[in-house]
Structure 1
Amino acid sequence: MNLRLFALASASVLALGVVGAQAADLTYEPAPVVEAAPAVFNWTGFYLGVHAGAALVDGDYSFDGFGFSDDNTGFIGGVQAGYNWQFDNIVIGAQTDFAYTSAKLSDDAIPAENKLEWLGSTTARIGYAFDNFLVYGKGGVAYGQSKIDDIDFANDSQWHVGWTAGVGAEYAFTQNLTGLLEYNYVDLGSQDYFDDFVSADLTTNVIKAGLNYKF
Structure 2
Amino acid sequence: MTRFVLGALAFLAAGWSIQAKAADFNYNSRGPLTVNQPLNAYSWAGPYLGGNFGYAWGSVDNAWAKPSGFVGGLQAGYNFQRGPWVFGAEADIQGSSADDTFATWKFSNPWFGTVRGRGGYAFNNVLFYGTLGLAFGELRASTFGLSESHTNVGWTAGLGAEFGFAPNWSAKIEYLYVDLANSNFVTTGASHGLSFGTVRAGVNYRF
Q: TM-score range by the shorter chain?
A: 0.7 to 0.9
* C-alpha contact 2:60 2:192 (8 A) present in aligned 1: yes
Partner in structure 1 of residue 160 of structure 2: 168
What is the alpha-carbon distance in structure 2 between the residues aligned to residue 181 and residue 188 of structure 1?
A: 22
Normalising by structure 1, we get a TM-score of 0.76
Partner in structure 1 of residue 78 of structure 2: 83
Normalising by structure 2, we get a TM-score of 0.79
Q: How does 1:75-154 map to 2 (within 5 A)?
A: 75-107=70-102, 110-151=103-144, 153-154=145-146
Structure 2: tracts of 5 or more residues without a match: 1-27
Q: Could you say which structure has the larger radius of gyration? A: 1
What is the alpha-carbon distance in structure 1 between the residues aligned to residue 58 and residue 51 of structure 2?
A: 21
* C-alpha contact 1:94 1:125 (8 A) present in aligned 2: yes
* C-alpha contact 2:182 2:192 (8 A) present in aligned 1: yes
Q: How does 1:187-198 map to 2 (within 5 A)?
A: 187-194=179-186, 197-198=189-190
Partner in structure 1 of residue 17 of structure 2: none
* C-alpha contact 2:60 2:195 (8 A) present in aligned 1: yes
Q: Which of the two has greater helix per residue?
A: 2
What is the alpha-carbon distance in structure 2 between the residues aligned to residue 162 and residue 105 of structure 1?
A: 21
What is the alpha-carbon distance in structure 2 between the residues aligned to residue 77 and residue 196 of structure 1?
A: 29
Partner in structure 1 of residue 151 of structure 2: 159
Give percent identity, aligned residues only. 37
* C-alpha contact 1:123 1:140 (8 A) present in aligned 2: yes
* C-alpha contact 2:68 2:100 (8 A) present in aligned 1: no
C-alpha deviation, 1:43, in angstroms: 0.6
Structure 1: tracts of 5 or more residues without a match: 1-30, 62-67
Partner in structure 2 of residue 40 of structure 1: 41
* C-alpha contact 1:111 1:150 (8 A) present in aligned 2: yes
C-alpha deviation, 1:72, in angstroms: 3.2
Partner in structure 1 of residue 25 of structure 2: none
C-alpha deviation, 1:87, in angstroms: 0.5
Secondary structure of residue in 2 paired with 1:77: strand
How many residues are aligned here? 177
* C-alpha contact 1:59 1:105 (8 A) present in aligned 2: no
1:179 matched to 2:179? The reply is no
Residue 52 of structure 2 aligns with an amino acid whose one-letter code is H
